[in-house]
Each structure stands twice: as C-alpha cells, then as structure tokens.
Structure 1
C-alpha cells in the first residue's frame, strides 16, 4: 500500500461516518423525528423548556446541527419545533444557525472525502461539464444564494453539489446562512402556531412556501441575486 492510500482513507473517514450515521438514522430515528412524536411529547417539551431554557436552546441547536450534518430525517419537523418552543425569535435564529453549521460540516466532509479529487479531475477535463462547473464557480454567490432562496433541490443535495465542484467555503457558508433566512422564518412562523394545529387534530401546511404570495417574492429575490452576473456578462468585452 502506498503512502497516499492511508491518507486518502483518512480523508474519507468523515464522509464514511456521515453516510453510516445517515443510513442508521433513516431507519432508527424516523419514528422519533416526526410530527407525531412532537405532538405526543409537546407538553413535556414545553415543561422542560420552562424549567431549563438555556439548556433546551443549546440541545435544540446541537440536535438541529446533527440532523443536517448527517442528513437525518426530520429537518422540517425540527424547524417547526424551533418556532413551537422558542417563538418566531429566537426560534428562527436557532433554526438558521443550526442549519448553517450542519450544512458546513457535511460540506467539509464531502469536500475532504471526494470533492478535491473530483474538482481536480473536472479542471483537467474538457467539455461542457468543465464549462458549467467553472460558470458556477465564477458566479458562485448568485447561484448558491438563489438555490437556497427557492428550495427546488433537497437541502442535503444543495450541501453536497458545491463541495464536489470546489466552491469556496466562505461563499458556501455565507450564501447558506443568508439564503435560508426567508424560508427559515416562514417555517418557524408555521411552528409558532403548531400548538393550535395539534389541538384541532390537524397537520401543519408544509406547502405554504410554494403558495403564490410567498414563492413570488422569493423568486423575485432569486432573480435579483442574478443581476450582478447578468451585468458582468453584458459588460464583459470579447477576448482578442
């Protein structure tokens, strides 16, 4: 075995851990990280929060980080739980911070395990894939910010793709944090009224973000984020 092989496996250990925990969690935790579980334990959670607010807040943020970092089921119920337990503020802040840190962790795990080698192969190649990848890198902030504003991709997919194509960590972290704020506020707000929803025996409306009066402004913000890229392409002079 060459010297580079042990190093390669060490680099992949975080990614292997993420995949292993995600696989186990998908089966072992799906009944616990659900709306039904929250509904059945809501009184106990509220009582614990009232007696241990700081500890509850810390435990919630750490749990949210773990859910995102290991791509565990239950991210949406967790977001609503933030509003249910802590209100719109600081619930939305806890949700956004937890999601951002978790996204950064899985981004680093993927980039360390696979991303660097794949990015080098893309750079050494020719053709459409390289051009598309380079275009995303050149306009990374606009593309990633739009991708976060309008959640057309699953959250874990949006965490992995930038790592595979060599997006800078600072750009990924900033666009994740600011890009998920609108959606985070909307779902946290839904969570604020979760107690009344449960009391009526109903389920929360998770499709609210795709209603016209909400998705419209988000699409407008996404389009606005592309404005610098469009202006740059217009002003760019053709090379000799």
Structure 2
C-alpha cells in the first residue's frame, strides 16, 4: 500500500442510519404513555372550551405560536389525530386565524420529516430500492409538482406517506414545500371551517357528524387528485404519439 492509498471509510451501519425512525417511534410512545391522544377529541373541546378560549383571548400570540409548534410536532412524529388538531385550530382561532396557523404548522412539521427521511432513512431505503422504485423515481422527477399535488389531494394517500415519499423519490425541497403548503389548503379549510362552527354546535347541545362530513368531501379531493395528474397523463400520451410519428416517418 502506498502512502496515497488511504482505506475507504466504512459505511455507517443501517441500524444507526435509521435513527430518525427511533426518534419518531419514541415520540409516539411518549405521547401514548402520557395519554395525550385522549385529549384529541370533541369532548375535550366541549369541556375545556371556556379555559381554552380564555387563554387565547389573554395570550393570543403565545396561543398561536404554541398551536403551530404542537401541529409541527404532531406532523413530525406522525401522531394520529392531526384532524382533531385542525378542528381545534378553527374552534380557537376561527377560519381566518386557524387556516394559516395550521398550514404553517403542518408545512413546518412536514419539512422536518422530509429532511429526516432525505438524510438517513431515505438514503438507506433508496440504496435498497428495486428496479420498480427506481423507474417510479424517474417518472416522478419528470413532473414532480403534479405527483406531489396528487399525493396531497388523493384521499387514499395517508399524510405521513405524502410527507416521506417525495424525499425518497428525490424531490427538491422548494417544490416539496410549495406543493405541501398549497396542496393541504382544501383539507385545512374544510376542517377548520368545521371547528369554527363548533361553538354554536356545542351551545345547541349537538355533536357534529365529522365522519359524514369527511365522507362527503372524499369525491372532491379525489377529483382534485385526478386533475393534478392530468399534466402527467398528457405528457405520457403526447410522448407516445410523438414516438409513433417518428417511427412512421
């Protein structure tokens, strides 16, 4: 071995490179152990509405900042129940205040999850990806905007999957942040609006049928997902026609 021949550094073991998963799993376990999931319900808003609204009235800036951080943490740790946090945002801050606060919190948390997946977990998964995933990656990068908007709109795609998949498929963060912030607007508006009307619903002694409302919104979100994929379909169809014309000439 000559003096210039330096041994290649040993790759970091996979178990160590997957540390973000351990952090996320630890966060979810801690939330479960502390019983935080029990607070994500309409009953909590009903019983604590005076205290919560009183705090918002006296400490508006602090309440909004705390809400954004809570939403970001819930998104980062993939805590089930973000829907209830969105509704709570509408209940506490109204449609005008709750919508931007939720969008900021969700985008912040999704961004942190994106970077976590991109720096370690995503790299490890990408190295072990088969031909199908690599082919899907090429198609994704041809029109990343359309694909990422579709991930946000299609009801069958869970929110954590829409946050992590673009990082693994090589999306640029700028495109990811834009499609996240704008892609979640329809859903955020819908559930924040529900939350904004809870005060009157509680006063009337009624419970909103969240499941029925969500079911009615599925066709609209599915339509948005299909529309977002039209540019992809057009490009593929146009490319095939162009190839046929070139072959015939």
Is the contact made by 1:148 and 1:180 (CA closer than 8 Å) also made in structure 2?
A: yes
User: Which of 170, 187, 190 is residue 194 of structure 2 equivalent to?
Assistant: 190
Q: Aligned ranges for residues 17-28 of structure 1 at < 5 Å?
A: 17-28=23-34
Q: Which residue of 1 aligns with 2:156?
A: 152
Q: Which residue of 2 aligns with 1:175?
A: 179
RMSD, aligned CA: 2.4
* Cα offset, 1:101, TM superposition: 1.1
Gaps in structure 2 of 5+ consecutive residues: 1-8
**1:174-224 superposed Cα distances (whole Å, 9 cap, x missing partner):** 21111110111000000011123333142442442331xx44443333222
**1:15-51 superposed Cα distances (whole Å, 9 cap, x missing partner):** 3212211222234211123322222211101001111
Distance 2:20 2:127 in 1: 20
Whose Rg is larger?
A: 2
**TM-score normalised per structure 2:** 0.83
User: Which of 82, 89, 105 is residue 96 of structure 2 equivalent to?
Assistant: 89
Distance 2:157 2:14 in 1: 33
Which aligned segments of 4 or more residues in structure 1 are displaced greater than 6 angstroms? none
* Cα offset, 1:87, TM superposition: 0.8
User: Which of 35, 41, 54 is residue 47 of structure 1 equivalent to?
Assistant: 54
Distance 1:204 1:107 in 2: 33
- Inter-CA distance 3–130: structure 2 relative to 1 (3 Å threshold): closer
Distance 1:75 1:108 in 2: 20
Residues paired across the two proteins, number: 233
Is the contact made by 1:33 and 1:77 (CA closer than 8 Å) also made in structure 2?
A: yes
Q: Which residue of 2 aligns with 1:208?
A: 213
- Inter-CA distance 207–133: structure 2 relative to 1 (3 Å threshold): farther
- Inter-CA distance 184–206: structure 2 relative to 1 (3 Å threshold): farther
**TM-score normalised per structure 1:** 0.85
Q: Aligned ranges for residues 1-240 of structure 1 at < 5 Å?
A: 3-5=10-12, 9=16, 11-28=17-34, 29-122=36-129, 125-126=130-131, 128-199=132-203, 200-211=205-216, 214-236=217-239, 237-238=242-243
Gaps in structure 1 of 5+ consecutive residues: none
